[in-house]
């Protein structure tokens, strides 16, 4: 991708829309972008789905420019193409790092994903940070936002350069333990707002991050601090129940843990459990009235959770993500079928690995 083409896209006039993921990396990506490019209508999404309501909204808005960060909407390529046709002349910039299903680069669309060329795990916030630098924006002082995205996505291994740059620019900001560091606390605060307030919380976090001039502004923000304290209490309660309530499948090195919480913390719980059980596959499930949300983590990485979940939900739900971190959603009526598929497929994969 040539910087000249990117600059041309970003100079587009007219209505502009920014779609971003509601997690820390997505919010940091959007904040970095909007600090330099105003006039965008930010719309948070919980996953790579363009529902009927969003479809209608985008078609009615007819934006001249659509920016997508940290959401693999190449999974919704037909719907994206339909929106482009309805919004004549619309340009699209998609900056993502999930395993791609389709390269959507065209005359009217720039699709940036490092996984077209490498297996490195590079969060969208880092991609945005580096792209802004490539087109001549002065982003050096905002390295702390990119680092916060790295912490939120647990991408330390492949983003050591970002962590080191942040520590060099702001000594003491990263520390020996990233989770408990200054940057880690900011990440936890952002994550907590989305957990407590969903899309509303994500948008609030985005406004705070856009307005923050220094990392101290974000660290001491009352909204982040209050949200973090409330969510921390609930996380500790849920984690305490794991030893007794989780179903363990020793032969598969796999746990399935059903949680009961009014908060949307399945992904947070699965991440924390995986950090303690690095050689086990962790599947945290949370039931709602009609659906079951599955959040999966596996630090060992010799089995791709992205591939496993995509196959397990075929015909009954949606799912995917990364090799070591993925998620899925299935109707409650299909949960048992999903569980049978998951266990059978894992057993088959394990058998081939032994052979």
Domain ranges of the chain: 3-223, 241-354
Distance CA 214, CA 65 (A): 29
pLDDT at 321: 83
**Residues 87 and 21 sit within 8 Å (Cβ to Cβ):** no
The backbone torsions φ and ψ at residue 138, rounded to the nearest 5 degrees and listed phi first, read: -85, 90
Nearest to 83 by CA among 38, 110, 52: 52
- The CA-atom distances, in angstroms, between 299 and each of 170, 246, 282, 326 are 30, 18, 9, 12
Please, are residues 75 and 99 in contact by the beta-carbon 8 Å criterion? no
Mean pLDDT by 10 residues, the chain (355 residues): 79 94 96 96 91 92 95 91 88 94 92 93 96 94 97 90 96 88 94 91 96 96 94 95 96 96 90 92 93 94 93 91 90 96 96 79
Whether the CB-CB separation of 49 and 78 falls below 8 Å is answered with no
User: What pLDDT is stored for residue 2 in this prediction?
Assistant: 66
HSE-CB of 171 using CA atoms within 13 angstroms: 0
Coil vs helix vs strand at 314: coil
Q: What is the pLDDT of residue 355?
A: 60
pLDDT of residue 47: 83
241-354 has which fold?
Diaminopimelate Epimerase; Chain A, domain 1 (3.10.310)
pLDDT of residue 306: 92
CA distances from 304 to 77, 171, 326 (A): 23, 37, 9
Q: Which fold has domain 3-223?
A: inorganic pyrophosphatase (n-terminal core) (3.90.1640)
């Amino acid at each position: 991708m040539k910087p000249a083409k990117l600059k041309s896209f970003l100079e587009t006039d007219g209505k502009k829309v920014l779609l971003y993921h509601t997690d820390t990396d997505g919010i940091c990506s959007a904040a970095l972008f909007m600090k330099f490019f105003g006039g965008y209508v930010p719309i948070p999404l919980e996953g790579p789905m363009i529902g009927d309501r969003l479809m209608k909204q985008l078609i009615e808005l007819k934006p001249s420019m659509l920016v997508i960060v940290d959401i693999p909407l190449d999974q919704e390529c037909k719907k994206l193409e339909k929106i482009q046709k309805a919004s004549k002349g619309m340009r699209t910039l998609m900056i993502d790092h999930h395993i791609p299903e389709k390269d959507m680069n065209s005359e009217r669309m720039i699709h940036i994903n490092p996984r077209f060329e490498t297996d490195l795990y590079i969060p969208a916030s880092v991609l945005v940070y580096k792209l802004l630098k490539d087109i001549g924006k002065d982003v050096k002082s905002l390295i702390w936002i990119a680092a916060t995205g790295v912490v939120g996505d647990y991408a330390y291994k492949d983003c050591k350069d970002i962590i080191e740059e942040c520590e060099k620019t702001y000594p003491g900001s990263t520390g020996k333990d990233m989770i408990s560091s200054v940057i880690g606390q900011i990440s936890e605060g952002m994550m907590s707002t989305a957990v407590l307030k969903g899309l509303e919380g994500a948008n609030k976090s985005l406004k705070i991050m856009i307005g923050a001039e220094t990392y101290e502004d974000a660290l001491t923000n009352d909204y982040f601090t209050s949200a973090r304290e409330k969510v921390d209490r609930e996380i500790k309660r849920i984690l305490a129940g794991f030893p007794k309530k989780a179903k363990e499948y020793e032969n598969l090195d796999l746990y399935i843990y059903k949680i009961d919480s009014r908060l949307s913390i399945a992904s947070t719980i699965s991440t924390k459990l995986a950090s303690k059980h690095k050689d086990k596959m962790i599947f945290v499930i949370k039931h709602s009235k009609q659906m079951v949300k599955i959040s999966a983590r596996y630090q060992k990485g010799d089995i791709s959770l992205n591939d496993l979940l995509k196959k397990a939900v075929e015909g009954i739900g949606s799912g995917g993500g990364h090799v070591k971190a993925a998620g899925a959603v299935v109707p409650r009526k299909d949960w048992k079928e999903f569980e049978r598929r998951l266990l059978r497929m894992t057993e088959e994969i394990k058998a081939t690995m032994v052979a």
